[in-house]
């Protein structure tokens, strides 16, 4: 399984993708808030917003954010 991974990402690359994910999540949030967004589009934007929340949590955990636990990344509420 380890042959599937290159392990050659830099911290800068991880920070960059985190920033892009946060911007994209914010974009989805803004479209959810718009009054002219249809219900179906709001559902799609919310789905993408929540998916990016998982991506952001995983990247922040990878970077060692003390506020993000493995339970947060895995969605364990207990």
Give, for all 78 residues of the chain, the pLDDT tens digit: 788 999 999 999 999 999 999 999 999 999 999 999 999 999 999 999 999 999 999 999 999 999 999 999 998 865
12-40 in b/e burial notation, b at 16+ Cβ within 10 A? eeeeeebeebbebbeebeebbeeeeeeee
User: How much is the pTM?
Assistant: 0.89
Contact 12/43 with Cβ under 8 angstroms? Answer: no
Alpha-carbon distances of 25 from 5, 55, 76, rounded to whole Å: 27, 10, 21
**What confidence score (pLDDT) does residue 3 get?**
87
pLDDT reported for residue 77: 67
């Amino acid at each position: 399984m380890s042959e599937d991974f290159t392990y050659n990402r830099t911290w800068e690359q991880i920070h960059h993708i985190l920033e892009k994910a946060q911007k994209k999540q914010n974009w989805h949030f803004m479209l959810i808030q718009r009054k002219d967004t249809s219900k179906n589009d709001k559902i799609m934007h919310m789905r993408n917003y929540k998916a990016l929340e998982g991506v952001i949590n995983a990247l922040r955990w990878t970077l060692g954010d003390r506020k993000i636990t493995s339970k947060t990344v895995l969605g364990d509420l207990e």
